[in-house]
Every structure is written in C-alpha cells, then in structure tokens.
Structure 1
Amino acid sequence: MNGICGWWGARPQAAEGIFPTTSDASINDCDISAAVIGNNTGGLVHADVEIVVAISERTSFGDAATVAAAYRRDGDAMLCAMQGAFALALLDRRRSRFLLAVDRAGARSLYVNERYGGVFFASRLEMLSRAPGFNRMHDDQAIFDYLYFHVIPSPRVIYRDVSKLLPAQMRIWENGQTLHRFYWHMPYRDSEVADYAALRQEFRALLPRVVGDAAGHSKTGADRVACFLSGGTDSSTVAGTWRELRGAPVSTYSIGFDAAGFDEMDYARTAARHFGTNPRELYVKPADVVDSIPRIAAYCDEPFGNASIVPAYLCARFAKDDGIDTMLAGDGGDEIFGGNERYANQSLFELYGRIPAPARRLLESALQMPGLDAIPMVRKARSYIAQAKVPLPDRFETYNFLHRTALDQIFEPAFLARVDSEEPLRNLREVYARTKSNSAINRMMHLDLKITLSDNDLRKVNQACELAGVNVCYPLLDDRMLDFAASVPARMQLKGTQLRWFFKRSLADFLPPQIIAKRKQGFGLPVGLWMADYAPLRELSHESLIALKHRQIVRPSYIDWVEQKHAKEHASYYGVMLWILIMLEQWLQAHQATAQR
C-alpha cells in the first residue's frame, strides 16, 4: 500500500536527505518536501505556485491535481466530498497554511512530529523516525495504554512528541496555531421509521458497486485479486459478491488451526462451495508462530498485541506466493451493521436504566435483605444491577485485565507514578460522546469504528499485508456503504439480542444458512494453548518475559502469577495477557526503544 512522507516549514538543512525526493511522485522545495512511497505513484504529487498536494492514492476526485483544484474551489469542505482511503498533505502557499488528513474510516495512518520549527509527517512511523534528532524515548503512557487496549489507540504513539491522526481528522497549521478538526461524522439517523424493503433493495444494489470498485484498485488485472475467507458473514459476503461480478471462480484464502474451538475451516469451505470459488487453504502450526513473532514485532510501527495478526500475515503471504497482488477483506461489517456480541450484552444492561428510579431503589433494597446470600438467583441479580449501574462506555472494560487486579500489583511503583490510569477510559468516553446519535447501539458502533476497527483491526490487516507484500482493500468501508449503514435504524441493526438483523435478513437468500447462523470468530489464534504445549514457543515466551522483568514496567511477581495461572488453570484466557507482554518485549527489543527515567 502507498503512503506519504515529508516535512513542511522546517529548516531545510535539518530535514535534508530524510525522505526520498527523486521520483516523479515527490517535491523538494524550500518550504516543503513531500513524496509518495509505493507503487503506481504517478500523478499523486502536484505543485504549482499556490497549492502543493501529496496524496497516497487516487480517490473519488482522481489524482493530486484534481484534489488541488477541489481545494482551490471549496477549501476544506472538499474533504467532505472526497471518498476513498487516503493520507493527504496539502500546502496552501497563499495563506502559508498546511493541512494533513486521513480518510473517514482511518484505513490509512499518518504520524506527525513537530520540531525544528516545522512539521514532519509519514504514513509509517519507521520512516518518520529517520529524521535527524528524532526522539526515540518511549512514552510510558503509551505503554500503559497498550497493556490496557492491546494496541496504542490514536492519537498517542509509542514515542514521545509524536502523534497520529484519528479517522476523519484533519490537522491544520496556520498563523502560528495548530487546529484539530473532524471533517466528517458518521451520519446516524435516530428515526426509527424506515422501510425495510427499500433499505434492502438499496443495500443489495450497493454491494456489487463497492466490491467491484475495491477490486479495481489492482493495477495488474482481476485475476490477481483474491479474498480473505474466514467463513464469517463479512468475508463470505465479499467473496460471494466478487465471484458473482467475475462470473468465474475467484481465489479465496482461508486459515485453519489444529485446535478445538479455533478452527473455522468448515465454514470457509461451506462458503467456497456455495459460491464456487477456488479455495486455497493453509493450516497454521505452532512453528509458524515462532517464526513469525520476530518478523511481525520488527515490522510493526508500534507494539501490537492482537494475536490474529500472525494468521493474517501468513494468509497474505500465502496469497502473495500464488501471485496475488490485492486482497479484499471484510473488515468493518460488525462495526457498521451491529455485529459485535457485546452490543447484545450491553443492551440487556441498558434495559435496567429504563426502570423508574423508585422501582430500582425498591428492588435494590429488597435484594440486600439479610439471608439472601445463598440464593443463586439473588446473587445473579445483584451482579446484573452492579454492572448495569456502570455507565457506558466504562462498562465495556469491566473484565479488562487491568481492572481485575490492583494496578499497584501489576506495575512497578515508579512506572505507575508516571502514568494516568484514567486516560484509557477518557479516550473511550470522548469517542462515545462524540457520536452524532442518542442511540446506545449507534454510540457503541461509533466507538468500535475507532477503537476496534481503526486502532486495531485495520492496523492489523494493513501491516500484515504490507509485510507480506500485497495490497488490501475494504469494500464494506467504502464511504457509500458507511453512509448507507448509518441510515439503518438501530432497531434493525439489533433486533432484541439478535445481532446484525438487517444485514443477515437482507442476505438470507445469498449466504449459506450455516454462515447466517454462526457466531463471530475470525482468524483467532490458539496461542494460549500452543504456549503451553509447544516447547519452542514456550521457551521464546519465557525468555521474553524474563527480559521484560528487567524493564521496570511490570512487576516480576505479576508476570510470574500470570505464567502460573496460564500453566495450571486456563491457558487460553491467561495466554492473552502473556501474549500482550511477550509482544511488548519483542517490539522493544526489535526497535531498541529507550525508557524514560
């Protein structure tokens, strides 16, 4: 995938030679240097006496020259009309005004570092860090956030003095000020009045358009466009639609695991047979994980703890070896069509708030009467009420590892004193409150668009595919699909506790019934089980944890406790935290981050 990099306003001698500026997709001037890195970069940089534009790829506007013309005509408002994945840098020389922006879904990243009196920017943090004098001191708060979320959510970055843009965000430097704005918001409609038949017709007409346009990003032909196929509703929908459009079998790539409860290959095979695709299957083994860990840790811009990046990388590499250059992924469907299981769970807790306050007080008093502790239903009711009284989005994190154990038992005292343990929840609350909707369902989906999708899943798939050497496109995150999904009433997204009611009903005659009925899983990795059973992975894990104990971040006693729990009680559950710790240490070793002291 393409990216951009460069600087604006810095002293040229401080920035000279940092970024490539010799291709036809670059500009190197006294006030700005910018380049597009990747393939098919022609036309992605434009410069005239008034406007300079560098954009990572063509959008609905076309090339960089048409983006410049749109800005000259409409100013910042042109971003509202520009569709597609992109990272953008734009200099308005008339006003000495510099703008950076990324697309609505955050499918492209943009890191920013202000120094030397100017702004350095890059789609890859590794490229940004090449600048002379770059501060590689890591940010303790970012590490805390990583251990909380298993990723580092935007805008924070592992290195101090660097930030990254949020989805649909633009950052502007003008008249000595820096402004942060969102140029677009998910246009949810709170009205419950809607015609299902009309919405279904619109949705079914839109699907082939967004899949076909995504496949059109391949510059070498449709034969080299394939699909990830986990056997879930989203990947099956994308693969089936691409097969229909092609009128011939298309290649689909699926991952399996020899571990009970993790292997979804049967569902992938069901979808492949149903649509008549050319199925390509790869079974991941523990040895593949051992081989992949250092590669992935070294490639990722920041510590990344979503273990499914390993099968995503292996699947993309498998496709690359077959000559595929573009993969279509189904990411985003859960976050725009109500598919995450916690939406149903949280909706049940939200019901409690609808009970009149006097009735709630009476019920809570009755449940506290003496002698009721031994009654299971009373204990369940108390637990339900206790959770229901925690407001969203805080309730999402009730079972977070960092809420299950006292922080002073997890972290070294000096490290804990340097961080704000409330910042992760403030991050969640800001995104939840920013939703342009009063519906709890829409607010939860809006939060997941940022935290689950942009900060996690898209970063996972992007980096996995980049490392493997293939491009990836997300048809369900097409701007037209985002606008459409926002028009579906919340009561159709989630019917009672039935997830994805509208999506599944609309595709009931298209998807196999087994896939309509299945629960969400994806390319989940049985890493907890394999760390217990496979000696080389267990050794790599233990060595990483020993090294992490010396970094004065996590208490050695907590690491020992998690290892013991993993070995003796629940390998899959405690394996999650072990993996998070291991990948932190692997990343720190690969990138030689310097701790703040």
Structure 2
Amino acid sequence: MSAAHVSLRLCRPAHPDAASAGGRVVGPWVAALEYADPQGRLVTLCERPGVVAVLLGTLYDQTLDGALNRYRTVGDAFAAQLEGSFALLILDLEAGRALALTDRVGLRTLYARHTGNAITVSTRPDHPDFSAGSLSVAAVASMLANGYLASGLTLYDGVRALTPSDLHDLRVEGILSAPYWTLPFHPAEQQRPVAADAADLIEVLRAATARRVRASGERPYLSLSGGYDSRGLLGLLRPACPNLRTFAYTLPPAR
C-alpha cells in the first residue's frame, strides 16, 4: 500500500480553458493538485470560493477550514498561528498565488523542483517529476561522507527539500521563501531557581501533550520504546487518558 501524500504541479502559460480541462488557473499558472490517502485519515481537502487547500497531517486546535479563515483575515501571517505535524498546499485563485508550507520543525517534508515554466512540489521524494531527472552527485557524496543529505539536498538534480518554518510563494521567477517562525532565545533570569525552570518545562510539556490529545480525535495510542521520553509521555497522558493504549516494538530473537 502506498503512503499518503500530497503534490502540486504548476505549469505555464495559463489558458482560460484550463479549468475545463481539469486544471485551475492561478495567476500565470495552470495548477493541478494531486493526493492519495489509502487509509482515509491523513489528507484533508478544503474547497472554498476563491481558495483551495490540501493538507497532509494534523493541525492542532483547529481545522483546515479555520486555517483558511485566518489566511483570509491576516494574510501570510496566518502561518505563524499554525501548530501541528503537516504539509499544506494552498491555491489562492483570487490573488493568483500558490503557497506551500510545513510545520515549523519539519515533521513533514515538501520537495520542490522549479524549471522556469513549471514547478512541482510534493511530499513524495520519488515523485515522477523528480525521479525523471539525473542523480545528484552532491547528494551521493553527502550520503557517502556524512550518512545523510545536508542543506536541503535530495537524490535528484534540481530538487530540494523546502525549509521548515518558511512560507514558500511559488512564482514564475522562482520560489520565494520567507520565515514565518524563528526559535526565540531569551536571556536567562539572574538568580532564578532551577526548580522554577523545571516547573515551567513541565507546564509546557503538559500543554503540548493536551493539544495533541485534542487533535487526535480518537483514543490515543503511545509507542513505548523503554526510554525516558516514552515513559515521560505516559506520565503526562495518564491523568487525561484513562483508556490510553500502549504498544511496543520487539526484535526477533538473535540467532
């Protein structure tokens, strides 16, 4: 079974008859949204007058429709008000804009290829528009030297991973990216007891856990790895989720 994914293909020049052929005219582009959700749980499509959006993943404390309301109200500043684990593609038909973004820490990844007359953005690193190109020598070298792909590299030439915490405006001249969130650093208070910092951390963890539980929509499940993280989450979840289910991964016996 294939994994859930979302993609956006933009090509130009746009033609007035594009809508009748199944595409949407968005400024200079003809746009086509593609998505798959084999289990019917991870992808949400929202179509409203003048704007269409598709979401892979979860928004905390709000729906996709609510996120679009914020976009209509405050413009690009809406992105800083989103929390969750998601990749989001938006077609603003009235303003002639195509936008892409992921959650601020990159739990979901979007990949992009821009060729002047076309842009493809997808959560699939092996999207056909990407894999049709040649392998990236720099990416292969990064994997061999470092064991990972550095600086947004992907396995294919001309394809890059979009930066998390940026709002990406897909334009003819290129992909214009601007940060919508930065990690704030505040000077430490002098003479503040360590116990006070620990209490603040506990409250932040409790609030974050509560947001995720509200967004789950079902009885939560927790993977127990045996480490401190999973046991700490179990302690945070237990008071609010008396019917919490847990599961663990096991390895086959050594031979």
TM-score computed with the length of structure 1 as normaliser: 0.36
- How far does the alpha carbon of each residue in 1:276-326 deviate from its partner, in whole angstroms, 9 at most, with x for none? xxxxxx234567xxxxxxxxxxxxxxxxxxxxxxxxxxxxxxxxxxxxxxx
CA distance in 1, matches of 2:254, 2:136: 32
Secondary structure at 2:74's aligned position in 1? helix
Q: Does 1:164 align with 2:150?
A: no
Tell me, yes or no, if the aligned pair for 1:11 and 1:118 is still in contact at 8 Å: no
Seen in structure 2, the aligned counterparts of structure 1 residues 253 and 216 have a Cα distance that, compared at 3 Å, is farther
Structure 1 residue 148 corresponds to structure 2 residue 142:
no
| Aligned residue number for residue 77 of structure 1 | 77
Aligned partners of 2:4, 2:212: CA distance in 1, in Å? 15
CA contact (8 A) 2:23 2:32 kept: yes
2:187 paired with 1:190: yes
Q: Which amino acid aligns with 2:6?
A: I
What are the within-5 Å matches in structure 2 for residues 554-573 of structure 1? none
Q: Give the match's secondary structure for 1:56.
A: strand
Given candidates 223, 228, 241, the residue that maps to 1:227 is 223
Name the residue aligned to 2:53: 53
- Judged with a 3 Å threshold, the aligned counterparts in structure 2 of structure 1 residues 178 and 6 are, in CA distance, closer, same or farther, namely closer
- Of the candidates 214, 234, 238, which is equivalent to residue 233 of structure 2? 238
- Partner residue in 1 for 2:66: 66
Residue 251 of structure 2, aligned match among 283, 293, 311: 283
CA distance in 2, matches of 1:175, 1:124: 22
Please report how far the alpha carbon of residue 103 of structure 1 lies from its aligned counterpart in structure 2 after TM superposition. 0.8
Match of 1:40 in 2: 41
What is the 5 A alignment of 1:300-339? none
How many percent identity over aligned positions? 17
Structure 1 residue aligned with 2:248: 253
**Structure 2 vs 1, CA of residues 252 and 243 (structure 1 numbering), >3 Å: closer, same or farther?**
farther
Task: Describe the superposition over 1:398-446 as per-residue Cα deviations: whole angstroms up to 9, x where unpaired.
Answer: xxxxxxxxxxxxxxxxxxxxxxxxxxxxxxxxxxxxxxxxxxxxxxxxx
- Residue 91 of structure 1 pairs with residue 91 of structure 2: yes
Give per-residue Cα distances to partners, 1:449-488, cap 9 Å, x unaligned: xxxxxxxxxxxxxxxxxxxxxxxxxxxxxxxxxxxxxxxx
The alignment's TM-score, normalised by the length of structure 2, stands at 0.79
Query: How many residue pairs align between the two structures?
Result: 241
Instruction: Structure 1: give runs of 5+ residues left out of the alignment.
Output: 17-26, 255-281, 288-597
By how many angstroms is 1:138 displaced?
A: 0.5
Q: Larger Rg: 1 or 2?
A: 1
Distance in 1 between the 2:100 and 2:142 partners? Answer: 25
**Secondary structure of 2:54's match?**
strand
Which deviations, in whole Å up to 9, do the C-alpha atoms of 1:350-399 show, x marking residues without a partner? Answer: xxxxxxxxxxxxxxxxxxxxxxxxxxxxxxxxxxxxxxxxxxxxxxxxxx
After TM superposition, list the pairs within 5 Å mapping 1:504-543 onto structure 2: none
Task: State the distance in 2 between where 1:125 and 1:80 align.
Answer: 26
User: In 2, are the aligned partners of 1:171 and 1:180 still within 8 Å (CA)?
Assistant: yes
| Larger relative helix fraction | 1
Give a deviation string over 1:156-194, Cα, whole Å, max 9, x none. Answer: 110111111122122213463431222111111133434
Residue type matched to 2:11 in 1? G
The 3-state SS of whatever aligns with 2:120 is strand
Give the unaligned 5+ runs of structure 2: none
Report the CA distance shift for 1:49/1:177 in structure 2 as closer, same or farther (over 3 A): farther
- Decide whether aligned partners of structure 1 residues 125 and 167 sit closer, same or farther in structure 2, where only a CA change above 3 A counts: same
* 1:242 to partner: Cα distance: 2.6
In 1: Cα distance, 2:244 partner to 2:109 partner: 33
The alpha-carbon distance between structure 1 residues 28 and 46, as it changes in their structure 2 partners (threshold 3 A), is farther
**RMSD across aligned positions (CA):** 3.1
- 1:6 aligns to 2:27 (yes or no): no
Whether the 8 Å CA contact 2:60–2:212 is kept in 1: the answer is no
Distance between the aligned counterparts of 1:216 and 1:284, measured in 2? 35
Specify the alignment match of 1:376 in structure 2. none
Aligned to 1:202: 200
Structure 1 residues 2, 67: CA separation in 2 closer, same or farther (over 3 Å shift)?
farther
Which one scores higher on RCO, CA 8 angstroms, separation ≥ 6?
1
Bigger strand share = 2
Residue 57 of structure 1: SS of its match in structure 2? strand
Cα distance in 2 between the residues matched to 1:237 and 1:11: 54
CA contact (8 A) 1:53 1:67 kept: no
Give the counterpart of 2:212 among 198, 206, 214. Answer: 214
* Rounded Cα–Cα distance in structure 1 between residues aligned with 2:88 and 2:173: 21
CA contact (8 A) 2:153 2:159 kept: yes
Alpha-carbon shift at residue 71 of structure 1 (Å): 1.2
Q: Check the 8 A contact 1:154/1:166 in 2, yes or no.
A: no
Cα distance in 2 for partners of 1:94, 1:40 equals 29
- With over 3 angstroms needed to count, the CA separation of the structure-2 counterparts of 1:95 and 1:239, relative to structure 1, is same
**Contact 1:88/1:100 (<8 A) preserved:** yes
Aligned residues of 1:61 and 1:67 also touching (Cα < 8 A): no
